[in-house]
Structure 1
Amino acid sequence: MRMTVAFMAAAGLAVSTAACTGDEGDVDGEGGGSGGVLNMQIGEVRSLIPGGSGESEGYRIIKNIYDGLVYYDIDTGEPENMAAESIESEDNQVWTIKIKDGLTFHNGEPVNADAFIRSWDRIAYAPNVLPLNYFFGTFEGYAEMNPDPKPADTWANPEVPEYDPVDVTHLSGVTAVDELTIEVKLSAPFIGFPSMLGYEAFLPIAQECLDDIEACEAKPIGNGPFMFEEPYDIEGGGSAVAWADYPGDHKPSIDGVRWHVYLEGNDCWPDFLTGDIDVCSPGAADYESAMNDPDLGERLVREPDPSILMLAFPLYDEKFQNVDLRRAISMAIDREGVANVVGPERFQPLNEWVPASIYGGGTDVCGEYCEYNPEAAADLLEAAGGWPEGEKLKIWVNDAGDNLTIFRSIGDSISESLGIEYELVPMEWTDFLSAREGHTLDGPFRSGWGPDYNLNENFLEPIYGGGAATNDQGWENEDYNAKILAAGAAATLDEAVAFYQEAEAILAEDMPSVPIFGQQYNYFYSDRVDNVQVHPIYSGPRGDCELRDVVITE
């Protein structure tokens, strides 16, 4: 789950980087690159240990500090082996993963089967309450590690579940066959399993890190191309340097990267104009002037972004359980009008839950319910019994980027179409995230997604699966769950994609969320950086760079 801060859902919603890539000579250090340190902006980070982030900002750092079993090809988005030598199965349910020999963490520990297994066990263990726990829900032994939580009224923090001690601390379906071989048994077949394995949830962890989690949060011990020599400061940022002994194929051509923190609502654009930040996307206030600047135009990247923005409904609240009400709100939103407010080249009205650039996406399944039609919206609202008289419609957002501008325009459109008075309720990022996950919001909320891997399943099961208690909307549909299971058991990936599309159609009928926008990259890079291109998976609204390939030309 990668929900992005600046544009999409938190955690981070997202997603999440664009790639600044030189040609092969540049990457090998032979194309005139001068090393140097790249200055990047970043928002609030939840965690720097695999499984603890699940949001765009932490993942932007994590993916450069760690290498996963697979990496996603920059041209196609398809998974290719990285730490894995091979990933194979005869039945799509029992998988054998062979790890390359000789890999180590920054501290010299071996990256072997145990390194992955101890990380997965940590994430899957319910009492750790880690955000990417649910990625292991299909592993055999997950249920034994994840009993029901204690009664909610006993929790010290009402938004963080608590568990009685769980004796089972290891996923029984995961076995170290030998030092470099892992066998994974799933509870049901899943043909797309290898596609997942480049994401944060499946990264390894060093034993030294596991022995001192607090120290590792500040100074993570990874196995990727960059490493921390000094602790990272959540409020002040930090620097990572290129790891001299990195054995992978994507060796950095820069000396390091410095992440500068911009907290909620803070904009990197002024610092980009002064040269203090190397990559930045202008907000709504600066968008027009940036686009009309001929000098900046030579350093503009404009590409489709496979990330989406949605308005989600709290179905655990009785007011929003009528589907006609949800449809009415969707049809009351003038998506093109909202896009014109924040920049029509930045966002395009969305008519599906899986964007067209993702394998199996582009179904246009939302149909008429994603079209602006105030008259039909009013009729649907009446059919739903109307809106409670005198009650404001609360729209919850995290205060970052252009969220307030975008959702104020959405609220204005709903109000004008349906005659409902609304209130825009901004929250700090971590509070917003906790409230979403804890089901404490009493109105529609900003949601979104950036791809973790190139499969339509990634925009469906992680967001809406797992049962009403575990997804942010509190939505459950047995037919939807059955389609997801059927897809996992399909004989071919094409057959699986078709089942996932049928699941998306069920989602469209129930509408626990409504698609608003697909995004388009419009970000600029400094004259220190050259040969910029967008990565189809490691993408996101903050204009980050694929740091292992970026070249500084000064």
Structure 2
Amino acid sequence: MSPHLRRLRLGSLALVGALAVSGCTSSAEEEGSSDNTSGGQPKSEIYTTGMVGVADGDTEPVEGGTLTVAEYSEIRTLDPTKSYANGAAGGSAMGAIYDTLVRYDHESQTFEPQLAESLTTDDNIVWTLALRDGVEFADGTPLDAQSVVDSMKYYTDNFAYQALTLMANLKSSKVVDDRTVEFTLQREWATFPNMLAGGPGMILAPAAYDDVFDFEPIGAGPFELETYAEGEELVLSARQDYWGEGPYLDELRFVWLGGDDAKLESLTSGGVDTAFMRGPGPVEQAIDEEFAGMMFATGLGTQIWINSREGRPGEDPRVRRAVALAIDPEVYLQRVTDGAGVPTKEIFPDASPWSTGVPPLETDPDAARALLEEAKADGFDGTVRYLHGADGPGTAGGVAVKAMLEDVGFTVENEALRSVSDQIQRLYIDHDYDLAVAALSIPDEDPYSRLIGALQSSSRQNTSGFSNFEMDALLADLQAAATPEEGIGTMTKIERLWHEKVPGVGLAAGGTFQAWNDNVHGMEPTSETMFLYDRAWVD
């Protein structure tokens, strides 16, 4: 593995955000504005979805070798129904074993066949999936239409990631013949292919799950499990009988190094070949040091949920609005990331094709105080509980939020949660909180699937308890939109209603950056910040 070598800037990089920088600006006078990084570059050009500094061109792939990937978090099981099929939680490792029926092409902004030969529809209600001929699972059994239907049923029966959204919209799955499946939906769903590019589209061999007590990771992907050492590494070996062009690698190795700073250090020294990072500071530093990679920009990368259920302070719309008026995203990021990142209350940042231009609630402490006094006059005592992570950024954010809210008259009781499982329990199962920091991370390729889970009145993923018939109708309209051009009018209404009713308060846009060294080629990003490694190679 070769260490990172500094790259010459390419003129095309400005189009995909491959521009400098790390750290925070020391002052607006010295660096231009808080909209720029410490290197003086506009953050809007960095936090834009797309490849950064990648120029593989017509280079001929080299066979052999091992690609070492520093993942964001350790995957403890390769059963897609028990792990989250996204890039932050081991989704790429599962994709390497199972492959996906389709993939998302970020350059063309279209869903393309992968395991499937085609996916077609005339009305966005009935979708016909045709499978490639001759594809086999790693155990030699054929990948046919029945195995697709059965695997997806296993996925939804176990309420896996995205399963609730799929179940609410899928009317039937029908085996037409050995290579054809017909999906009939309840209503128009233009981005239905995103389901097949994610966890539901990771098709398992029947033998993988026929014993409920002994799951076996058997798929049709380019790699299969070789070894797993908890807390150390997951090693996958190449399948020689994979249906596609690759794999070129002999092995794919996943490691977990802790924080993003450690990952960037290992990437720089050549300890790993590629690293998945989410922290704004390390992300901006990696781009400043001109690493090639893929930027996944998302809306509401950090936000505060306000619990509006009966008996909670947020049941009162005046309290919700007072919280929004009291919070200053720039102050929050200054405390948490030393100013790195894109502070915004908007659902999508300006660089997103889904950015609506709807003005958010400006920070106005005086207006917040007035609303809070009205609520107190009607019996509210001003006390709210704020949940946050127990790590450094979570604690720093808790201090910042507490200070801003108490400045306008709230009494804030901070509570640090030490594990992700604790956060899931409190926010999504017990709904036991008043305010809580979270990351909705809405991707440009399919905002509907995120927003329907978070904001639809009857959704089991709706942690805030927000219930609004107008929002439900708008989300149904958004479901039929295939592109930002088709859906921007609806998104504008959604954002306007978000700022009016305040189910939550935006703090920052999101930016996940997977960076790699000069010896890495053929990296193929897909949906949910995941990568497909069938054509990856190293020199």
Give TM-score, length-normalised by structure 1: 0.75
Residue of structure 2 in register with 1:200 after alignment: 199
Question: Does residue 313 in structure 1 map to residue 306 in structure 2?
Answer: yes
Question: Does residue 247 in structure 1 map to residue 243 in structure 2?
Answer: yes
Residue of structure 2 in register with 1:473 after alignment: 464
- SS of residue matched to 1:384: helix
Question: Does residue 261 in structure 1 map to residue 256 in structure 2?
Answer: yes
On the 8 A contact 2:146/2:175 being kept in 1, the answer is: yes
On the 8 A contact 1:452/1:458 being kept in 2, the answer is: no
Paired residues in the alignment total 486
Gaps of 5+ in 1: 1-15, 142-172
Question: Does residue 40 in structure 1 map to residue 70 in structure 2?
Answer: yes
Residue of structure 1 in register with 2:538 after alignment: 552
1:119 aligned residue (151, 163, 167) = 151
Residue of structure 2 in register with 1:146 after alignment: none
1:222 and 1:452 map into 2 onto residues whose CA distance is 27
- Aligned-residue offset at 1:240: 1.4
> For 1:66-94, what per-residue CA distance to the aligned partner results, in whole angstroms no more than 9, with x for missing partners?
22221111424421121222222233222
On the 8 A contact 1:114/1:179 being kept in 2, the answer is: yes
On the 8 A contact 1:342/1:405 being kept in 2, the answer is: yes
The 1:380/1:533 distance shift into structure 2, 3 A limit, reads: farther
Residue of structure 2 in register with 1:482 after alignment: 473
The 1:357/1:390 distance shift into structure 2, 3 A limit, reads: closer
Q: In the TM superposition, what are the counterparts of 1:438-457 in structure 2 within 5 Å?
A: 438-451=429-442, 454-457=445-448
- SS of residue matched to 1:349: coil
Counting aligned pairs with the same residue, the percent is 21
1:80 aligned residue (109, 112, 125) = 112
> For 1:175-199, what per-residue CA distance to the aligned partner results, in whole angstroms no more than 9, with x for missing partners?
1011111111112222332344212
Q: Which range moved further: 379-388 or 418-427?
A: 379-388
Give TM-score, length-normalised by structure 2: 0.77
1:350 aligned residue (340, 344, 357) = 344
> For 1:378-410, what per-residue CA distance to the aligned partner results, in whole angstroms no more than 9, with x for missing partners?
22322333795484x332234467333344333
- Give the aligned CA root-mean-square deviation in angstroms: 3.8
Residue of structure 2 in register with 1:185 after alignment: 184
2:308 and 2:515 map into 1 onto residues whose CA distance is 40
1:300 and 1:411 map into 2 onto residues whose CA distance is 38
2:513 and 2:128 map into 1 onto residues whose CA distance is 41
The 1:462/1:24 distance shift into structure 2, 3 A limit, reads: farther
Q: In the TM superposition, what are the counterparts of 1:319-334 in structure 2 within 5 Å?
A: 319-334=313-328
Residue of structure 2 in register with 1:413 after alignment: 404
The 1:298/1:532 distance shift into structure 2, 3 A limit, reads: farther
Q: In the TM superposition, what are the counterparts of 1:99-118 in structure 2 within 5 Å?
A: 99-118=131-150
1:511 aligned residue (502, 507, 521) = 502
Residue of structure 1 in register with 2:39 after alignment: none
2:329 aligned residue (335, 348, 353) = 335
Letter in 2 for 1:337: V
2:443 and 2:459 map into 1 onto residues whose CA distance is 22
- Aligned-residue offset at 1:298: 4.4
Letter in 1 for 2:466: W
The 1:418/1:233 distance shift into structure 2, 3 A limit, reads: farther
Q: Which range moved further: 34-43 or 82-91?
A: 34-43
Comparing both chains, which one has the higher relative contact order based on Cα–Cα distances under 8 Å and sequence gaps of 6 or more? 1
> For 1:267-303, what per-residue CA distance to the aligned partner results, in whole angstroms no more than 9, with x for missing partners?
5456556643444478989859x94x99x82437695
Letter in 2 for 1:477: N
Q: Which range moved further: 455-464 or 500-509?
A: 500-509
Question: Does residue 59 in structure 1 map to residue 91 in structure 2?
Answer: yes
Q: Which range moved further: 269-278 or 451-460?
A: 269-278
- Aligned-residue offset at 1:222: 2.1
On the 8 A contact 1:70/1:79 being kept in 2, the answer is: yes
The 1:436/1:525 distance shift into structure 2, 3 A limit, reads: same
